[in-house]
Amino acid sequence: MKPTIQVHDKHFEVLIAQHILEERIADIAQNLNEDFAGKKPIFLAILNGSFMFAAQLMKSITLDCQITFLRVSSYQATESTGKVLQILGLNESLTGRDVIVVEDIIDTGLTMIEIKRQLLAQAPASLSIVTLFQKPEALKQPIDIQHVGFELENKFVLGYGLDYDELGRNLADLYVLCE
Ligand code: XMP
Ligand code: MG
């Protein structure tokens, strides 16, 4: 039996070990180094979930580049307008810039679709999405994602930056909820 850990009331087991995650992240960085050779992109990492992925990714990026950290806050406005997503922490114009969004996980995709819509309003030269994880079965609308680290089954995961009710972000491996 695989060893399990408990976070809050639930049990989790390792799904992807740290060294596998980090080998894949180095590959993604290599692809980005090639795609953006000669350019000066700005990386926008979405907090909190992407902090560990972003840190690991940036260690293998050899481009002249900027990195900044954003937060998205989502709140229910009215019944009719539904959820409103606000991007916090962007103090820089993206007009004419090569923008690379760094996300931990794309699940339904609704968060990323809204982030993209707001960033595209600033007329960047290009906008690329890099996500460490994606759950293809959970996607609600099609979305162009340039780099996906790992495609996952539609199960809850935590660790490597991802949380279960704010715990587990510090775990160095990716864990999945036990059946
Ligand atoms: P959507 O559905 O808009 O959601 O693509 C993206 C955000 O939802 C969170 N999320 C998860 N967090 N384990 C987590 O710890 C998961 O399995 C999971 N699925 C979605 C995450 O914050 C992401 O930014
Ligand atoms: Mg979360």
DSSP string, 68-110: EEEEEEEEE--TTT-EEEEEES--S--TT-EEEEEEEEESSSH
A 10 A CB-CB count for 102 gives: 25
Residue 80, domain member (yes or no): yes
Residue 120, domain member (yes or no): yes
The CATH code of the domain that includes 103 is 3.40.50.2020
| Pair 152, 134: CB distance under 8 Å | yes
Which-ligand-closest: CA of 158?
1
Which-ligand-closest: CA of 137?
1
Residue 171, domain member (yes or no): no
CA-to-CA distance for 56 and 22, rounded, in angstroms?
7
Residue located nearest, by CA, to atom 20 of ligand 1: 107
Q: What is the pLDDT of residues 108-127, one digit of tens each?
A: 999 999 999 999 999 999 99
Residue 32, domain member (yes or no): yes
Residue located nearest, by CA, to atom 22 of ligand 1: 49
Report the complex ipTM.
0.93
Q: What is the pLDDT of residues 30-86, one digit of tens each?
A: 999 999 999 999 999 999 999 999 999 999 999 999 999 999 988 776 676 667 899
- Residue 127: domain span: 19-151
- DSSP state for residue 155 in the 8-state scheme: S
The pTM (predicted TM-score) of the whole model is: 0.95
